[in-house]
Structure 1
Amino acid sequence: MLESALPASSSLTGRTVLVTGATSGIGFATARRLAERGATVLLHGRTAEEARAAADRLIATTDVSATQLPVFGADFTRLDEVEELAALIVRDHPHLDVLVNNAGTAAPERHTVTTDGNEIAFQVNFLAHYLLTCLLEPALTSAPGGRVVNVSSSLHRTASIQWSDPNRARRYSRLAAYAQSQLALTVFAADPRVTAVSVHPGVCDTALLPLYANEGVTAAEGAAHVVRLCDPAVEIVNGAYYDRAERVAPAPAATEDRTIKRLNKLADVLVGRAAA
């Protein structure tokens, strides 16, 4: 199924969108396109200083005003900072139209665990976004039409979730760890609590390019596919997966009810939301 893209000039004025990982690559290009179309874009960076620098670059190169670009900092290798980020956003922006879960990192060569005890790619690419989405649910559902866009990867098709060892402590491969994080993010889009989709924006020339190929399209070209899914005029189905502009079937595991429930249970434990 291929939904037609809307003209780039269609207005998003009045919409509020949070973009994680908005300081570079696809996230920065997504923020630019959204702001140029009138949206208020909440810019997230690893630190508030990095987010402010990104906002300053946008202000200097577009007609976007500073009031359109509130900035937030949170290091996704620390779940307490994710919680603080969510609290600030709910306080300052109690209504959120779209959450773009874009922040990502390549798994390092050596097995690396965060201070929260999770493999770093699994936490940054999935668990932090899982926690953030759960905490922002009140803002995303405060009015009809709220949605989540997970920036995933075609590499999710190569992955499996190691349920007994999600941190891959026993057998580590950086590519397998990265792919597992992308599968988890894709599965999470089918969670019924908030309408969500996932999208592979194509192989883009960003910091993650070495995981895919030697060449890629520009970050702006990849961002166009993300921005399209942020537009309320583009109808989406909860759990849908897009390869660029085309809606296609994700890996079979991504739509299995058992896998969705199992992943939510695992994530709740790993982010500290499991019932006592």
Structure 2
Amino acid sequence: MSASDLSSRTVLVTGATSGIGFETARQLAERGATVLVHGRTAEDAQAATDKLVATAGIDAGQLCGVAADFTRLEEVEAMARRVVAGHPHLDVLVNNAGIAAPERHTLTADGNEIALQVNFLAHYLLTCLLEPALTMGSPLLERSRELGDDPGGRVVNVSSSLHRTASIQWSDPQRARRYSRLAAYAQSQLALTVFAADPRVTAVSVHPGACETDLLSLYAMSGVSAAEGAAHVVRLCDPATEIVNGAYYDRDQRVEPAQAATEDRTVKRLSKLADQLTGHHT
């Protein structure tokens, strides 16, 4: 089956300046999508769009650089405002940006453990703020499913199989009392996976496999190419791929996520915690 044409689609990819994010942006653009290429700074985003034009032959008109440092939530808010103003209809948001938790416990200026903020809280806030551009609310979504057409906005969270090793420390989400970089990273990935089941948007999460990226050291093994990992992300961006809200994919197979990711109580509790930590009030 040939890949479907995505020329009518507008997709925002976070963390699109390297690794899986860059390859996801490239593959989407090659299939005709308009891609908002997110970088930590405007210079980073511009460099990535220039590289896509130069090395992949992408039409510059299909690309738009957007910038926000995810360690600063005010920058996430500002970027969301710019995106909604410039692209009032967004078909897909790929929440891909991620960092490995550092060796030492590190807080952002917003007071959050850095991996929790960059990997989850910033994406939570961005998704909530982009909801007007993304949504077709749930009733309309159900109606669209009945009619057999694609309802538009969907969110693809690039997660990790390490979410299975995690627990969310509700009484100490910043892990101030007992810090381990692997546990902090895994907690951020579990939170991202749980967030996919939030009923406010249609979302899935995907483990793209262990890929040759900056995060490979967390897995301590060799990995496939970032392009191969990105292909699993791109497949979920395609309206021809039917998705179920909250579904979790290990590469191209839909599998059950960790039990916590399917519990309504956990989804609601995480939403409440994230609202508190980001200052976002739904």
Q: Which residue of 1 aligns with 2:100?
A: 106
Q: Which residue of 2 aligns with 1:3?
A: none
Matches within 5 A, 1:7-22: 7-8=2-3, 10-22=4-16
Q: Report the count of equivalent residues.
A: 269
Tell me the distance in 2 between the aligned counterparts of 1:204 and 1:48: 26
Q: Which residue of 2 aligns with 1:213?
A: 220
Q: Which residue of 2 aligns with 1:130?
A: 124
| Aligned residues of 1:203 and 1:213 also touching (Cα < 8 A) | no
Q: Which residue of 1 aligns with 2:145?
A: none
Q: Which residue of 1 aligns with 2:183?
A: 176
Select 2:48's aligned residue among 50, 54, 59: 54
| Aligned residues of 2:14 and 2:39 also touching (Cα < 8 A) | yes
Q: Given the alignment of the two structures, is residue 115 of structure 1 paired with residue 109 of structure 2, yes or no?
A: yes
| Residue 142 (structure 1) shift | 5.7
Residue ranges of structure 2 left out of the alignment (5+ in a row): 138-150
Select 2:86's aligned residue among 92, 104, 124: 92
| Aligned residues of 1:86 and 1:136 also touching (Cα < 8 A) | yes
Tell me the distance in 2 between the aligned counterparts of 1:274 and 1:39: 32
Tell me the distance in 1 between the aligned counterparts of 2:57 and 2:168: 44
Q: Given the alignment of the two structures, is residue 269 of structure 1 paired with residue 276 of structure 2, yes or no?
A: yes
Q: Which residue of 1 aligns with 2:265?
A: 258
TM-score by length of structure 2 reads 0.94
1:7 alignment partner AA: S
| Residue 45 (structure 1) shift | 0.3
2:241 alignment partner AA: V
| Aligned residues of 1:95 and 1:142 also touching (Cα < 8 A) | no
Select 2:76's aligned residue among 78, 82, 91: 82
Tell me the distance in 1 between the aligned counterparts of 2:185 and 2:259: 18
Q: Given the alignment of the two structures, is residue 232 of structure 1 paired with residue 239 of structure 2, yes or no?
A: yes
Counting aligned pairs with the same residue, the percent is 79
Secondary structure of the equivalent of 1:70? Answer: strand
Tell me the distance in 1 between the aligned counterparts of 2:97 and 2:261: 20
Q: Which residue of 2 aligns with 1:198?
A: 205
Tell me the distance in 2 between the aligned counterparts of 1:30 and 1:185: 19
Tell me the distance in 1 between the aligned counterparts of 2:41 and 2:87: 19
After superposing on structure 2, the runs of 4+ consecutive aligned residues of structure 1 that deviate more than 3 Å are none
Residue ranges of structure 1 left out of the alignment (5+ in a row): 1-5
| Aligned residues of 1:265 and 1:274 also touching (Cα < 8 A) | no
| Aligned residues of 2:136 and 2:152 also touching (Cα < 8 A) | no
Tell me the distance in 2 between the aligned counterparts of 1:274 and 1:234: 32
Tell me the distance in 1 between the aligned counterparts of 2:235 and 2:281: 35
TM-score by length of structure 1 reads 0.96
Tell me the distance in 2 between the aligned counterparts of 1:115 and 1:271: 12
2:176 alignment partner AA: A
Q: Given the alignment of the two structures, is residue 222 of structure 1 paired with residue 229 of structure 2, yes or no?
A: yes
| CA displacement 1:117-144 (0-9 Å, x = unmatched) | 0000000000000000000000001693
